Structure 1
Amino acid sequence: MAKVISSNLGYPRIGKQREWKKALDKFWNGKISEKDLLEETKTVRLEGLRKQKEKEIDLIPVGDFTLYDHVLDTAVMFGVIPERFQTDCTGTSLETYFSIARGTQNAVASEMTKWFNTNYHYIVPEFNESKPSLKENRPLDFYNEAKEELGIEGKPVLLGPITFIKLGKGYEEVEFPTLVEEFLPLYIDVLTELKEAGVKWIQIDEPIFSTALTKEDIVQAEYVYESFAKVIPEVNIIIQTYFESVDSYEKIVNLPAAAIGLDFVHGNSLEQLNKHGFPKDKKLAAGIIDGRNVWRQDLNHQIDLLESIAEIVDKENIIVQPSCSLIHVPVTTESEKALDLVIKEALSFADEKLDEISILARGLERGKESVLLEIRESTNAIEVLNHSDYRQQIVKNPAGSLSTERELVFKERIALQKERLQLPLLPTTTIGSLPQTAEVRRERLKWRKGEITDQAYEEYIKNEIKKWIDIQEEIGLDVLVHGEFERTDMVEYFGEKLNGFLVTQFGWVQSYGSRCVRPPIIFGDVTFDRPMTVKESVYAQSLTQKKVKGMLTGPVTILNWSFVRDDISRFDVLDQIAVALRFEIEELEKNGIKIIQVDEPALREGLPLKSENWDQYLNRAVHAFKLATASVQNSTQIHTHMCYSDFQDIFETISALDADVISIENSRSHGELISTFKENTYDKEIGLGVYDIHSPRVPTKEEIKANVNRALQIIPSSQFWINPDCGLKTRQETETIAALQNMTEAAKELRKAQLADVHTN
């Protein structure tokens, strides 16, 4: 009986209790040494490898671990270090590594953006005139570690050259072949050293193959993998794609490699396989367990899927694996002691998905009968949830006959808003959240544990709000925020308040750097229960004569940053969320809040990888946002916020949201977004983030003025707001106050100059 191989593509880096994050934060705060950091994170890494070995995964990935981001790892490995860090950083290589991601006082951090259509962020490589060179062989180091420490014959993971180069910046499309020529020998050196160390399998990730490729891309891909095959014919290379099916199927599956990894959860890979077949001389690494959602899969259905694949590809040539790396899901459901068993039994985190992979590999190898007990267990768990009270009352047509249009068009209602709000030219504000200190987190934890009363906790939050209202007034901001001290996370908070959601205790996933989020799980119908943000917003407004923004997370972002039930359409769930938020917005307005911000940072990231699916998604996104916001008075101003995405693709959608003011990240992309507004007319008000909050550096007043002046060459000052590029929750108090002081001083000087120009003209 030929063995069916099981494989994993990547394991969560953060540790069961976020030990990885805690070590990083301690290191950045100077509480542990670099040696301590490396030792603590090694413990986390080895534990993940040990877990995969125990679950009998045949091909265990090594080199998928990172201290910040795997794209940044690749860049640093090949010496792709921006010149500003080559001269500014004089310490260890790790100092340079973190400086690229976080910036220094003298050097702006590299751009950060979303990893395809996920909530993971990567650091964008900057290709410049300096010639790349191999600085270290990271995959080899991790391979040797796994072998020596645990006896694991690991599968090194590399980010493929086509994806790595296409995700970078600093080159024109015509120079793509030149970059391939520069990096190809470096990749060959890495692969050759791996071969000499005895490596049997190598996973080369090319998720860019799941997007629309040009003819030039295909030519370069063929050239690259033909070159690899000539150098290391003895080593089994898996060209791994994920997040979607591949458009250029026949070209991709015929690239010279031992195996091709395809996603059978998203897209139409099975249809392509049936239509075009598969090369007889290759293995098909079939991604059949969803690596991006947390629901247990019906193993009966999935083994049937594998058997359908086996009608085209011989069983011994099938590798059973998840659809993508498991970094997008939490570590294990074992830690969730408080969950209702009806829901918990239907969940599958990373460890449970590895179990599913092992079961399916055995079932395909030995026949379905050999795993009938496991199949029945998965089927029963799903059926128990689907037939429970949690899912018995499906909300039909949640939007009903609700209007999605404001009463007046923007040009007419903005005049009413200006008269009501009486804001100065170039008004200043922040995006919403203010620094959450260790003390804030401790008090919240004590409250959750029942160590302090509800009243004591509410009093503490009120004191924090008052403290920061006073600070904002002293700084001189024009529109204030209450600071969101009561919120752990902008999506998790609403998941705790709305019906149909649950929030786990330890269901953390990495978002960027050490930033981990705990996505809520949507298990049933989403409905409004009671006001969620009114109390804090109204209290903050009572402390000042200036306007305080009400702050909510938008429906699209709540959907995209949650683990969504998989038994009904995502768009139906989206409308349910929008209607629930509509009730909350109306409550804020009834209670005197005149500016309401509904953030949609995840709108762009949810864009399907296939352009033919864009219109449906964008139309439904716009519909949901307007469904949530359209019922307010004309004089109530609706804001929204988006960050770290490629906005050129959705410029018309941004305008169609019909928000009165939008704030968009601009600083970390080094002002490149401004060109979009040069090429497109935008008639509403806008704040392009004038400094990067994801870096601890404090921007100078002159730097901020330069950023604003660059924008004012394109956008009229009458439409322009001045604000940071994102929320300030993760920043320290001192650096936040210093940065906002510089921002408001810059605004005052710019305002004075603009008014002088108007007077002169």
Structure 2
Amino acid sequence: MVQSSVLGFPRIGAQRELKKTTEAYWSGKVGKDELFKVGKEIRATNWKLQQAAGVDVIASNDFSYYDQVLDLSLLFNVIPDRYTKYELEPIDVLFAMGRGLQRKATETSKAVDVTALEMVKWFDSNYHYVRPTFSKTTQFKLNGSKPVDEYLEAKELGVETRPVVLGPVSYLFLGKADKDSLDLEPITLLDQILPVYAELLEKLAAAGAKSVQIDEPVLVLDLPQPVQAAFKTAYEFFAAKSGLPEITLATYFGTVIPNIEAVKSAPVAAIHVDLVRAPEQLEGVIAALKPEQKLSVGVIDGRNIWKADAAAASAIAQAAISKLGADRVVVATSSSLLHTPVDLNNEKKLSAEIKDFFSFATQKLDEVVVVAKNVSGEDVSEALAANAASVKARAESSITNDAAVKQRVTEITDKLGRRASPFVERIQEQEKVYKLPLFPTTTIGSFPQTKDIRINRNKFAKGELSPEAYEKFIESEIEKVVRFQEEIDLDVLVHGEPERNDMVQYFGEQLKGFAFTTNGWVQSYGSRYVRPPIIVGDVSRPAPMTVKESVYAQSITTKPMKGMLSGPITILRWSFPRVDVSQKTQALQLGLALRDEVNDLEAAGITVIQVDEPALREGLPLRDGAERQDYYQWAAESFRIATAGVKNTTQIHSHFCYSDLDPNHIKALDADVVSIEFSKKDDPNYIREFSDYPNHAGLGLFDIHSPRIPSKEEFIQKIATILEVYPTEKFWVNPDCGLKTRGWEETKASLTNMVAAAKYYREKYAKKD
């Protein structure tokens, strides 16, 4: 019989239990015992759920209180010295590395002030991992036993699991050198880290684990030769050790064929590949297998929420079986289900028609089991018939098609995506209009989403607050934000976005072609969860979405007020996109819808408009080639379509964060001003990459995911580092990102210090003149 396998399950809890308890722990409302108790309950629920569904191979060590890569850094003692000097408990070291920590001394503890490690996107997903940071003084050792503990925890519940851990080559390649060791290539540390991996595998074997899943997702990237060679070194090292568990080498999010020699050389029991994202690799992978190796075929999508086509998935699995035999094939999810909501059964407001289109993590368990049973020859005809009916109904649904939108896309011309004049001419006109000082200050958009805001939004959604009362409440919140910004003398203001639940969901709710969940939460990073909208049909904008609030905010101040929009690529990538039309088509539809909004904002007197594209890099195909070059073109085109229909004097801003950005890619957008997350980069080379960016830019000066408050002197030093290579006349002063997750006290203090630092430099450069 063909086995079924799930590579990982969401760890947030069906009702976001992990978020609630983690944030309560951070605020001191619960202790670590309660935090650990909730984590244990979530793990037990997940394992039992998979066991009850009939999944044969269930993952353990897929749980984390913050991030699975950060867990590995803690486990292997990859902890920069700045986090070890405070004598923190391991869980607090984990959180300090993930989000920073700043607290005053008490009778029982030292004062702590430490920034977070860099956080970046996990491949092309909207999940963020904390980048491992290595130094020449890093001493690898086992710093605990989390994978072993969780394996034994499951075993006590009667659930046999396969522990999962990120592999040594991926872990090193995804990391970076610390600021004291910038010439260090992390992959050169392979020989030092392999014995620690082996020690962990030995402990898992001693605990009874028969097999382990070692994830090497970097196999789907363009890898330099030393990294390709590292796979042979690593897995031959493990093969030489007797008594270790069998290894399933797992890849996902793309094809391994360009790195197939590295896969061939790996003496492992099984290989897992993602046949949802790259079905074309099947034949090449089969040809590379050794006679005794198994193949895990990822045929159930771990990244999207559309119900699987069970017949199509079965056909792919059957193709593998025809070459290898049933005993050498495992039917699996394409990747961990971390990227999908927990349970569709928690959705009570979706229409029956639309709900039938979807499959969340819990439902995907049934899908993978049904496919495994089907290719094993078991009778699952009833399930297959129901699935086929659902797939057919979605393909034929009138919800997906809008002839007017399709026609508008066909009418797009090159002229539609070009500003009337080049930047060098626009900026001269803009300087005359806005008369901004040197080092202009601004924020990225959102201000703290207080408990009062959330309560009133929920009351309005439930009909307990009238539209008139809610509008007055929102206007009062906008006025608080505007007055505060005026008080600290920011130069370009924002309205604070109190009316917005999320930077994508808010727009999706006002665009035609979207569906929404009430409990479809997915982890983005740490305790930050999002409910991605779902693109179910052609997209258009029935009415203005942001004009009313922006116009009100501008009416109560004489300073420039930014209109705030999310860009087409960000709305696309932070939603669950359609799979029946190309992402290019969806992006162009969104660009046209946003163009209508941008033009309406300008007509209403909002002449500074920010269209955020933090997901721009996330959408980039993982490998270089024609597909990537094509993406560069249509992603930039969709942004320019949204923004190019305005006058020269209207200043277009954009924002980018938590990705390895390419200045050339950003240049193609032709935004007048861009703001870029920078506070955790610690790399002067990154500044140099942007030093010749032709338009204006602000490199973010403080980490908005951390509660710590930078001092004025810290801001001054940060700016000094930037100005060593960045032109003063082009530099804007701003935070890393929006401030919605921060408290008002820390927001006020941080922004006040930031503005003071900008004024320090204005005075300094005025004296030079």
- TM-score (norm. length: structure 2): 0.95
Instruction: Tell me the secondary structure at the aligned position of residue 165 of structure 2.
Output: strand
* Counterpart secondary structure, 2:84: helix
Letter in 2 for 1:136: G
Which residue of 2 is the match for residue 146 of structure 1?
154
CA-CA distance at 1:682 after TM superposition: 1.4
Contact conserved, 1:4 with 1:361, CA < 8 A, in 2?
yes
**1:131 equivalent in alignment to 2:139:** yes
* Equivalent position to 1:637, from 651, 655, 663: 651
1:125 positional shift: 1.0
In the alignment, structure 1 residue 111 sits paired with structure 2 residue 118: yes
Structure 1 SS opposite 2:331:
strand
Residues 386 and 392, structure 1, Cα contact 8 Å, conserved in 2 = no
Describe the shift of the 1:75–1:581 C-alpha distance in structure 2 as closer, same or farther (beyond 3 A).
Answer: same
In 1, the alpha carbon distance for the partners of 2:426 and 2:123 equals 37
Cα distance, 1:40 vs structure 2: 1.5
Task: Say which of 62, 66, 77 aligns to 1:68.
Answer: 66
Number of the residue aligned with 2:260: 249
Identity of aligned residues (%): 44
1:705 to 692, 698, 716: 716
Q: Which range moves more in the overlay, 596-605 or 374-383?
A: 374-383
Q: Aligned partners of 2:708, 2:519: CA distance in 1, in Å?
A: 31
Distance 2:183 2:406 in 1: 48
The amino acid that maps onto 1:183 is I
Partner of 2:287: 276
CA offset digits 1:674-695 (Å, max 9, x no partner)? 44436x6211010000111111
Could you give the per-residue CA deviations for residues 590-646 of structure 1, whole angstroms, max 9, x where no partner exists? 100010000000000111111112111111100000010000111000000000111
The reply on whether 1:345 has 2:356 as its aligned counterpart is: yes
* Cα shift at 1:736: 0.2
Structure 2 contact 406–538 (Cα < 8 Å) conserved: no
Whether the 8 Å contact between 2:350 and 2:516 is mirrored in structure 1 is no
**Structure 2: distance between partners of 1:70 and 1:673:** 28
8 Å Cα contact 1:393/1:525 also seen in 2: yes
CA contact (8 A) 2:564 2:610 kept: yes
- State whether residues 169 and 187 of structure 2, in contact with CA within 8 Å, keep that contact through their aligned partners in structure 1: no
Deviations along 1:184-205, one digit per CA (max 9) or x if unpaired, are 1100110001111111120001
Distance 1:227 1:565, change over 3 A: same
Question: Secondary structure of 1:285's partner?
Answer: strand
Work out whether residues 398 and 575 of structure 1, in 8 Å CA contact, stay in contact via their aligned partners in 2.
no
Q: Which residue of 2 aligns with 1:43?
A: 41
Matching residue's letter, 1:222? K
How far 1:210 sits from its partner (Å)?
1.1
How many Å apart are 1:235 and its aligned residue?
2.3
1:653 aligns with 2:665: yes
Query: 3-state DSSP class of the match of 2:487?
Result: helix
For 1:366, what is the secondary structure of its paired residue? coil
CA distance in 2, matches of 1:482, 1:86: 40
The answer to whether 1:677 aligns with 2:685 is no
In structure 2, the residue matched to 1:490 is 503
Which amino acid is 2:629 matched to? D
Amino acid at match of 1:541: Q
- Is the CA contact (8 Å cut-off) linking 1:262 and 1:285 kept in structure 2? yes
Query: Could you say which residue in structure 2 is the equivalent of 1:94?
Result: 91
Please say if residues 549 and 597 of structure 1, whose CA atoms lie closer than 8 Å, have aligned partners that are also in contact.
yes
- Does the aligned pair in 2 maintain the 1:342–1:381 contact within 8 Å? no
* Equivalent residue, structure 2, for 1:398: 408
Matches within 5 A, 1:34-433: 34-87=32-85, 89-105=86-102, 106-128=113-135, 129-148=137-156, 150-170=157-177, 175-176=185-186, 178-232=188-242, 235-246=245-256, 247-273=258-284, 276=287, 278-366=289-377, 370-394=379-403, 395-399=405-409, 400-402=411-413, 403-433=416-446
Unaligned runs of 5+ in 1: none
**Separation in structure 2 between the aligned mates of residue 108 and residue 116 of structure 1, nearest angstrom:** 24
Q: Deviations over 1:121-178 (max 9, x none)?
A: 1111111113121111211000000111x21111101110001111111167875554
Corresponding residue of 2:599: 586
Judge which range, 586-595 or 706-715, deviates more. 706-715
Is residue 612–residue 656 contact of structure 2 (8 Å, CA) maintained in 1? yes
CA distance in 1 between counterparts of 2:17 and 2:52 reads 21
Query: Distance in 1 between the 2:686 and 2:282 partners?
Result: 42
| Counterpart code for 2:356 | E
- Relative to structure 2, which stretch is displaced further, 162-171 or 489-498? 162-171
User: Partners in 1 of 2:298 and 2:290 — Cα distance?
Assistant: 17
Q: What are the Cα deviations for residues 314-357 of structure 1, in whole angstroms up to 9, with x where unaligned?
A: 11111111111100010011011111111101101101111100
Unaligned runs of 5+ in 2: 103-112
Q: State whether structure 2 residue 626 is matched by structure 1 residue 628.
A: no
Deviates more, 1:209-218 or 1:515-524: 209-218
More deviation, 75-84/98-107? 98-107
Matched, 1:751 2:762: yes
> Partner of 2:534 in structure 1?
521
The CA distance in 2 between the partners of 1:496 and 1:177, in whole Å, is 45
Query: Is the 8 Å Cα contact of residues 61 and 146 (structure 2) preserved in structure 1?
Result: yes
Question: In 2 relative to 1, CA 275–397 (structure 1 residues): closer, same or farther, beyond 3 Å?
Answer: farther
Task: Tell me how far apart the structure 1 counterparts of residues 324 and 308 of structure 2 sit (CA, whole Å).
Answer: 23
User: Conserved in 1, the CA contact under 8 Å of 2:688 and 2:725?
Assistant: no
How far apart, CA to CA, are the structure 2 residues paired with 1:177 and 1:668? 22
Structure 1 contact 192–232 (Cα < 8 Å) conserved: no
Tell me, in whole angstroms, the C-alpha distance in 1 between the residues paired with 2:172 and 2:505: 35
Matches of 2:73 and 2:614, distance apart in 1: 26
Shift of 1:397: 4.9
What SS class does the counterpart of residue 332 from structure 2 fall into?
strand
Task: Indicate conservation of the 8 Å contact 1:481/1:549, yes or no.
Answer: yes
For residues 452-531 of structure 1, what are the structure 2 equivalents within 5 Å?
Answer: 452-531=465-544
Moved more, 339-348 or 231-240: 231-240
1:172/1:545 CA distance change after superposition, 3 Å: closer
Distance (whole Å) between structure 2 residues aligned to residue 608 and residue 672 of structure 1? 27
Of 439-448 and 579-588, deviating more is 439-448
The one-letter amino acid of 2:248's match is I
- C-alpha distance in 2 between matches for 1:429 and 1:61: 46
CA spacing shift, 1:695–1:736, aligned 2, 3 Å: same
Q: Which amino acid aligns with 1:70?
A: Q
Asked if 2 retains the 8 angstrom alpha-carbon contact of 1:432 and 1:727, the reply is yes
Q: Distance in 1 between matches of 2:377 and 2:245?
A: 28
The SS at the match of 2:376 is helix
Q: Does the Cα contact within 8 Å between 1:274 and 1:312 map onto a contact in 2?
A: no
Q: Name the CA shift for 1:751/1:59 in 2 (closer, same or farther; >3 Å).
A: same
The amino acid that maps onto 2:95 is F
> Is the Cα contact below 8 Å between 2:228 and 2:262 reproduced in 1?
yes
Q: CA deviation at 1:277?
A: 5.1
3-state SS of paired residue (2:570): helix
Aligned residue in 2 for 1:9: 7
Aligned pair 1:602/2:615, yes or no?
A: yes
CA contact (8 A) 1:157 1:203 kept: yes
Q: Alpha-carbon deviation of 1:253? A: 4.0
- Assess if the C-alpha contact under 8 Å between 1:671 and 1:707 holds in 2: no
Q: Name the aligned partner's letter for residue 312 of structure 2.
A: H
Aligned length: 749
In 2: Cα distance, 1:686 partner to 1:382 partner = 47
Q: For the residues of structure 2 that align with 1:353 and 1:70, how far apart are their CA atoms?
A: 22
Residues 400 and 513, structure 2, Cα contact 8 Å, conserved in 1: no
**Structure 2 counterpart SS, 1:743:** helix
